Amino acid sequence: MLDIASKLTSLVKNFKFLSKLQIASNNDNRQINLHIHIPENGKISKRQLELAREQLIPILKENKPFKTLSEPVDKSLKVIDDYNEEGNDPNLKKFINDNLPEKDKAIWYSSLILRKYFEEDKKELVSQLKSQIISTELDRGKNIANLCSAGYLESLIIPLNSYFEDEKIDKQLFLEIYETIVTEYPFAVFVSQYRPYTEIKKEIIDKINKVKKYGWKKVSVHGIGKENVKEIKKLAEEIETSCKVVNSVDVNTHGSKGIIITFTFNLS
């Protein structure tokens, strides 16, 4: 390891775009951290890059395993590692692994991590992670993240699966209902600052009318943040007054800054 360190130290001295050489040791684990930044402005010549490459490649070949990570990926892996090192949600992860479709597993795991940091009020991290989930997984990612944050994995999906197992009902039917939950979440509305008031109100009323037909008598509206909470409370008043089927409106907090309003209504 000392030999690698001295080779890399020499490289860092010769090539300006190699930097931050650090050698960290933790008991028997020694890690050498190297950072590479090549500016776009062309100050590093092609010849220099070629020389650095010629010297770096054999060092890497002789010293596997190694990791080469962009800065954002390094940070993301640390977030994932920290979450797993703490042993969070093992039962939920097992349930996801054993019962949910392969294409959704990583989205659910990501959403559990997102939820944990939401509960710790790490706003910036939560915002970044949620944007990433939505940008690559689109609506499905957004839906699963919302369902997870709102606790529907524990309160709905797991009990539903248990019921089907206990009654020995074909798993395929569970998966079909699961698909409906994930794509339409017919019993829940998630409010965000980007959605117009009228659109949210229409969605609530449409869902009340839809789920009634299937014998479901609750629709919950979820929101986080002062403005969203204000909007949901206003919506709740309007709908309670104007929608004759609504029996009761329950208001609960969600985390420190969120709200869940549940409309219970007649099935007739």
Partner 1 sequence: MIKITFSKNPKTKRFILSLFGKDVDSENYIIEKETGERVLSSNGQEITFKRFGGVVSGSEIFLKDDFVSLVDYYENRLSKQEG
Q: Which residues bind partner 1 (CB under 8 A)?
A: 4, 8, 17, 29-40, 49, 53, 56-57, 59-60, 63-74, 76-77, 80-81, 84, 105-107, 109-110, 113, 129, 132-133, 135-137, 141
What is the pairing mode between strands 218-224 and 188-191? parallel
Q: How far is the CB of 30 from partner 1 (least distance, A)?
A: 7
Cα-based distances in Å from 257 to 44, 53, 150, 181, 190 = 50, 51, 13, 25, 14
Whichever of 84 and 264 has its CB closer to partner 1, that residue is 84
β 218-224/246-254 pair status: unpaired
Q: Which amino acid is at 261?
A: I
Burial state string for 107-116 with b = 16 or more CB within 10 A and e = fewer than 16:
bbbbbbbbbb
Q: How far is CA 242 from CA 186, 205, 231, 247, in A?
A: 21, 10, 16, 12
Nearer residue to partner 1 within complex by CB, 182 or 239: 182
Return the exposure string of 228-248: e unless at least 16 CB atoms fall within 10 Å of the residue's CB, then b. Answer: bbebbbebbeebeeeeebbee
Q: What is the DSSP letter of 16?
A: T
CB of 202 to partner 1, least distance (A): 31
Question: Minimal CA–CA distance to 152: which of 83, 100, 76, 198?
Answer: 100
Indicate the residue among 76 and 264 with the shorter CB distance to partner 1: 76
CB nearer to partner 1: pick between 133 and 200 = 133
Query: Closer to partner 1 at the Cβ: 70 or 268?
Result: 70
In the complex, what is the shortest distance from the CB of residue 213 to partner 1, in angstroms, rounded to a whole number?
34
CA distances from 128 to 79, 219, 232 (A): 12, 29, 25
Distance from C-alpha of 114 to C-alpha of 83, rounded to nearest angstrom: 10
Using the minimum distance from each CB to partner 1, give the nearer residue, 50 or 121. 50
Shortest CB 68 distance to partner 1, Å: 4
Return d(Cα 57, Cα 68) in angstroms, integer: 12
Least distance from C-beta 58 to partner 1, angstroms?
Answer: 11
Q: Whose Cβ is closer to partner 1: residue 50's or residue 179's?
A: 50
* Minimum gap (Å) between residue 245 Cβ and partner 1: 39
Q: Closest separation between CB of residue 20 and partner 1, Å?
A: 8
